[in-house]
Structure 1
Amino acid sequence: MLDRIQEGGPFFMWPIVIVFIILAALFVRQLVTKADKAHTIILLSNISLFILSWGLLGSVIGLIEAFDAVEGLGDVSQGMMAGGLKIAFLTTVFGLVTFITGRLFILILTIKKE
């Protein structure tokens, strides 16, 4: 997993990992304590939407960099192009997984509402 984080670019990937941990901590805190559930749900919602956007931004920037490299080299092999696209989409995948996890936490807290 650490290899994938480095491949996807630490500037975009590490914040996604950190936010994933924050989402999990907020969820566990809500389950353990009886904090304001509505406030926690709003936090989870906003943070998960932000990280989804962050992952998409990382992918778009990665694609622009990949296309700049292709433009500079001229003729690029299919393998090199596929590798560049894979790296560009890593931030989207990690952002989506974090977003879906956050939404799952929201769903569980909503169902568990008293």
Structure 2
Amino acid sequence: MYNLMILTIFYLVEDHSIFAHILRLLHDGGMFFMFPILMTLFLVFFLIIKNVLIIKKDGTPSPKYIKLINSLGLMILVWGILGQLLGLVEAFDKIEMLGEISTARLAGGLKISALPTMFGSLVFVISRAATTIFIWITKEVDLEK
């Protein structure tokens, strides 16, 4: 179902746009791993915005949301690494079955297997940066009191 949705979006989007390139990378990385990472990225952005609104209202970020953003970032990093490891095992099984394989094909397979880890790392860095900023704001507010 996800593949049909992505292919429909590919058809609607011009092939040379950045949006189409990002969708192609999401599809190439495997929707089983990339889609949850994408949804977690949206959730992290939502929680960051919600925490900013809490700061505007109360003057200090919510510790609950700080911990949640931090936990989601770490969980999705591990999810991306799991995706890469399973992709590598699958690639090694195919190499074992075929016997010989070209260097270009091997490099392409390694690139594809690295996509979930790279995307998960991006979400992790965003969540850690937000967590660091929120903790810094909390300490600044505590010093003022």
Q: TM class, shorter-chain normalised? A: over 0.9
What is the distance in 1 between the residues matched to 2:131 and 2:71? 11
The one of 96, 103, 114 equivalent to 1:89 is 114
Amino acid at match of 1:107: T
Opposite residue 104 of structure 2, the aligned amino acid is G
TM-score by length of 2: 0.76
Q: Give the secondary-structure state (helix, strand or coil) at the position aligned to 2:85.
A: helix
Deviations 1:60-111 (A, max 9, x none): 0000000011011111000000000000000000000000100001011111
Q: Give aligned-pair identity as a percent.
A: 37
The structure 1 residue matched to 2:32, chosen from 2, 11, 16, is: 11
- The code of the aligned residue for 1:48 comes to G
Q: Which runs of 4+ in 1 moved over 4 A?
A: none
> Which consecutive residues of structure 1, in runs of 5 or more, have no partner in the other structure?
none
Structure 2 letter corresponding to 1:91: P
The equivalent position to 2:88 in structure 1, one of 44, 63, 85, is 63
Q: What CA distance in whole angstroms lies between the structure 2 residues aligned with 1:41 and 1:91?
A: 24
CA distance in 2, matches of 1:105, 1:20: 12
Partner-residue secondary structure (3-state), 1:101: helix
User: Is 2:137 the counterpart of 1:112?
Assistant: yes
What's the TM-score once normalised by structure 1's chain length?
0.96
Which residue of 1 is the match for residue 126 of structure 2? 101
Between 101-110 and 29-38, the greater mean CA deviation after superposition = 29-38
Check if 1:43 corresponds to 2:68. Answer: yes
Structure of higher CA gyration radius: 2
Q: Which has the higher contact order (CA 8 A, sep 6+)?
A: 1
- Residue correspondences, number: 114
Once the two structures are superposed, residues 6-54 of structure 1 have per-residue CA deviations (whole angstroms, 9 ceiling, x without a partner) of 0000000010010011001000001012476111111011111110110
AA aligned opposite 2:96:
E
* Structure 2: gaps spanning 5 or more residues: 1-21
Letter in 1 for 2:137: K
1:75 partner SS:
coil
